[in-house]
Every structure is written in C-alpha cells, then in structure tokens.
C-alpha cells in the first residue's frame, strides 16, 4: 500500500468524487489555477476539471457560504473552502441559521448536500485571527455534521463520505498535518461517520483527542509505555455523529480518561465528552477525568508564547500520571 501525505490523500478523495459525479464542484478563495489553495490541497484540479468546477471566489466568506448553500438546495454538490476556520465567523448566519436548519424547517422536503472545508489550529505563528480551534461552536448547532480527520487514511475516506451526505458537513483539518504520511489505498473506500479509530490499545488509561493532539497523544502513549503505563488512544474522526460506544467501552476497560484538544478550555468539546462519560460510565471511573486544553486566552503571535499555549506531549503525560 503506498504512503501518501494527508494533503495528497485529501486531494485524491476530492478528485475521485468530482470524477464520479459532475454535480460536485469546489469553490473558495485562491483555490484555482494561480494558487491551488492556501495549503495546496486543490493544486492541479482546475487544470483537470476547468474553472467552472474549481471556482475562485471573491474574498467574502459570507458570499462563499451563501452561494454554496443556494447551489446545494438547487441540486448541486458544492465543497466550499474557507481559508481559515476563524473566518467562518463571517458567515455564521448562513451556516448556523440557514444551512443547519433548512432540512428541519422545510419538513425534509429539501436536502443540503454542502461540505464546508476549513483549517483550525496553531503552530504557524499566524496570530489570533488565523489559529483558533472553534469546533465546539458548531458541535452546539443541531443539523451540522462535523468531521475532524487527523490522518491521511481517514481524510480521504471521510471527505468522500461527506460529499455523498445529504446534510451540511463541517469538514475541519489541522494546519500541521498536511505533510504527515500514512499508508493510503489507491482503490476507492469510504469511512462511515460516527466510527472512532483506536490507534493504540491499552489497559490503564484512555486518551481521547482530536487533530494534531491525536499525534501527540500517540507520542505520549509511547513514552508512558516505557514507564509501565498502558494507554489507549482514541481518535473520534467525527464529532457529529460521535462514537460514544468506543469511548465508553474504553473507559469501562481502563477506568481513567484524559481528554486533549487544542481548544481553549472553557466550553471546549472536552467538556461535552467529560459530561457524556460522567453520565454513562461514572461507576467505572477510578479517578477524576482530566482535560488538557489551551488556556482561555487569544492565540499568541509570539512563537515562544504560542508553544506554551498549545498542549504538548509532556502535558498529556503529566495529566496521565496524576490519575494513574
């Protein structure tokens, strides 16, 4: 099986879906011939499919999502790229008041097959307007599905599933995983939403995380193994729908849980996951649930401060050792 970067696996998934269904098209800022996207995911697609199906847009997130929503409810399958996740805030009405509610408000008489791709996370010193992790905002909005792929194999299978879904899907990626490689099949495959991936099995503690933090959790688990602590690492792959069963079964086995994401701590997805486990597996917990998040501040521009802001392997190890 060939190794591919996260970027190339994602592009491959997009390309396969564009070949499969001529209604699929991509739109966003600088995604076409001249630039190929801020992170080069769409590079070369305009040359293959033409400017009608890989459409450069004005610098207006409001217009991008509004036009994509209109296209979706009238029979097209748009994949709208928002260059940075922070900038979805400029189109929150279209996302949360329109796209998320339309199927419900119209009694199921319309579908909204809209995928909104965007990028979260720090690590590139892009400051407070281009480095946040805001997935909890959208998890709080009924009607939106949320994919958070962390690995190359997952991103290809999930983007294909997202494009074929009749509901709006928020498809979030992390800036620092595009160059990471993993074995990815050349043949077509899909990954169902709501099915987590267990990267490492363990008996002493469960570590649940998203995006880059999954990679750091695996590194932490490797280090903990040298210290005689067996950690199970779970990547949810989608937040909505959420694979509760894999999480709860793991906690029942290990009796301990550490949650790690790059979000600021208050109101993060980790709070919701902690509440779910408390409600459904309290009797199996042998220690308090630990959360590892960024502090409740804007993301710093300063490189040294940003490194302090973003959770790292050592903080995960410290949280585990506090309860094991």
In three-state secondary structure terms, 13 is helix
Sheet holding 24-28, edge to edge: 54-56, 24-28, 77-82, 115-120, 169-174, 145-147, 238-240
Per residue in 259-312, pLDDT tens?
999 999 999 999 999 999 999 999 999 999 999 999 999 999 999 999 999 999
Give the pLDDT of residue 34.
87
Q: Do domains 3-183 and 197-323 have the same CATH topology?
A: yes
CA distance 159 to 163: 6
Set 129, 130, 199, 215: catalytic member: 130
Bridge partners, 173 (sequence order): 119
The CATH number of the structural domain formed by 3-183 is 3.40.50.970
> Catalytic residue at 130?
yes
| 11-66 confidence digits (pLDDT tens) | 999 999 999 999 999 999 999 998 999 999 999 999 999 999 999 999 999 999 99
Pick the CATH number of 197-323 from 3.20.20.80, 3.40.50.920, 3.40.190.10, 3.30.70.260: 3.40.50.920
With 90 as the cut, is the pLDDT of residue 205 above it? yes
Give mean pLDDT, residues 235-263: 98
End-to-end Cα distance, the chain: 38
Structure tokens at 321: 């050792």
pLDDT of residue 9: 98
CA distance 25 to 11: 13
pLDDT digit string, tens, across residues 97-151:
999 999 999 999 999 999 999 999 999 999 999 999 999 999 999 999 999 999 9
Pairing mode, strands 77-82 and 115-120? parallel
Domain boundaries, the chain: 3-183, 197-323
């Amino acid at each position: 099986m060939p190794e591919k970067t996260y970027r190339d696996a994602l592009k491959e998934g997009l390309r396969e879906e564009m070949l499969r269904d001529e209604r699929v098209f991509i739109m966003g800022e600088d995604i076409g011939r001249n630039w190929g996207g801020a992170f080069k995911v769409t590079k070369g697609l305009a040359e293959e499919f033409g400017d009608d199906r890989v459409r450069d847009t004005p610098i207006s997130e409001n217009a991008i999502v509004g036009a994509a929503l209109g296209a979706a409810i009238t029979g097209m399958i748009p994949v709208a790229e928002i260059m940075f996740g922070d900038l979805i805030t400029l189109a929150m009405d279209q996302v949360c008041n329109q796209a998320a509610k339309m199927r419900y408000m119209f009694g199921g008489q319309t579908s909204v097959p809209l995928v909104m791709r965007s990028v979260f996370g720090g690590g590139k010193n892009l400051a407070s307007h281009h480095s946040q992790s805001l997935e909890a905002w959208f998890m709080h909005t009924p009607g939106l599905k949320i994919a958070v792929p962390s690995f190359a194999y997952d991103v290809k299978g999930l983007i294909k599933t997202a494009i074929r879904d009749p509901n709006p899907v928020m498809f979030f990626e992390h800036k620092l995983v595009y160059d990471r490689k993993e074995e990815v099949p050349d043949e077509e495959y899909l990954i169902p939403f709501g099915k987590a991936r267990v990267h490492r099995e363990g008996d002493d503690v469960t570590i649940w995380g998203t995006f880059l933090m999954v990679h750091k959790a695996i590194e932490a688990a490797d280090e903990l193994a040298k210290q005689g602590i067996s950690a199970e690492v779970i990547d949810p792959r989608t937040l909505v729908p959420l694979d509760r069963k894999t999480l709860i079964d793991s906690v029942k086995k290990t009796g301990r849980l550490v949650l790690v994401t790059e979000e600021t701590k208050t109101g993060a997805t980790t709070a919701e996951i902690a509440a779910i486990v408390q409600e459904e597996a309290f009797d199996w917990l042998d220690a308090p649930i630990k959360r590892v998040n960024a502090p409740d501040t804007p993301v710093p521009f300063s490189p040294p401060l940003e490194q302090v802001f973003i959770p790292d392997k050592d903080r995960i190890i410290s949280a585990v050792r506090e309860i094991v």
